[in-house]
Structure 1
Amino acid sequence: MTTPALLDFREIAEKLGIKVFYWPDTSQALFAENKPFIFLNETLSQQQQWQDFCHELAHVLLHTGDQFYMSPLFREYQEHKANNFMYHACIPTFMLDELQLNDSTPQTVMKLQELFNVEYEFALKRLTQYLNNHRLVPDWNSEKR
């Protein structure tokens, strides 16, 4: 997956051996007989399904246990990690690096929204994260160092 056009959750799920189902309830991930499943809300837009898939993928890859039986603080911690993962999986840093972004104008945000198939607010938040990080650590990934 080297370009935004290749970021397709169906292909990612297939390559990782994750079964994806659509249903009318809230998106969620679970394991049954040690096999991962992601259930996506069928009423969401394509952008929202992509975002939800990446959030649930974090649970599949990073977490164990049933949140129903966890302490609220640990559940909150897992959700925070899954949300952070979601932003980076939907709009990977190395792909943003290639775009050489310097601003967060509405035109730039809309460009990211279209390129990465995410909602406007999602693109804005990810771009803000990216720009804030790169202003604090300039040329982190460059070969000029």
Structure 2
Amino acid sequence: MEGCYIYTHLEDYIQNLYKYLRINRPNQLTIDSIAKKLNLNIYYGKFSFRFGKDLIIQESTKQREWQLFGHEVGHYLRHCGNHLAMNRLFIDLQEWQANHFAYHFCVPTFMLQNTDNLSIYTIMNLFNVECDFATRRLEMYQNKLYEEGKNHVLSKIQNEIWTD
């Protein structure tokens, strides 16, 4: 089913962001280089959070730090407001959005599509993410491929019915 993958708004957003930053290969996905290009200050501490252009990343493994960085960049680029003054449901929404953003930011779809032998192991090594993160991202990608393929087939059937 080549050619029937339709990018979501978020996938388009991230691909355009990386294109703007001149990042097109997984080995270019590093905290330091992206933070520099986005003019962000990175600090490491006991918790992860964002305060303006300052991103504090919880000290952990390099993989976990990369994933947390993706989450905080999601907040930086897509959210505004003070969590202390927000309704709990809105905070939960922003956290869900930042988590979802991190999957696509840390393992961009346009790079996945150019990856041979796509597997959890490949994603872990190529994109420097943890096993659970790679597993979930691969599931997201495969589910989207399945849905796009199903929609493509249904569309063909519908067109055949209407043209007979």
- Which bracket does the TM-score occupy, shorter chain normalised? 0.7 to 0.9
Residue matched to 1:125: 136
Q: TM-score, normalised by structure 1?
A: 0.84
Question: Which residue number corresponds to residue 15 of structure 2?
Answer: none
Instruction: Specify the alignment match of 1:19 in structure 2.
Output: 41
CA distance in 2 between counterparts of 1:136 and 1:101 reads 21
Cα displacement string for residues 54-102 of structure 1 (whole angstroms, at most 9, x for unaligned residues): 0000111111111111100000010011011000000000011112567
Max radius of gyration: which structure? 2
Aligned length: 129
**Distance (whole Å) between structure 2 residues aligned to residue 97 and residue 64 of structure 1:** 32
Q: Which runs of no fewer than 5 residues in structure 2 stay unpaired?
A: 1-22, 152-164
For 2:114, what is the secondary structure of its paired residue?
A: helix
Give the CA RMSD over aligned residues. Answer: 1.7
Which structure would you say has the larger RCO, counting Cα contacts within 8 Å and 6 or more residues apart? 2
1:29 corresponds to which residue? 50
Unaligned runs of 5+ in 1: 103-107, 141-145
Q: Which has the higher helix share?
A: 2
Are positions 1:87 and 2:98 aligned together?
A: no
- 5 Å matches for 1:71-82? 71-82=87-98
Does residue 64 of structure 1 match 2:80?
yes
> Which of 56, 60, 70 is residue 39 of structure 1 equivalent to?
56
* Identity value in percent: 36
Q: Would you say 1:7 and 2:52 are equivalent positions?
A: no
After superposing on structure 2, the runs of 4+ consecutive aligned residues of structure 1 that deviate more than 3 Å are none
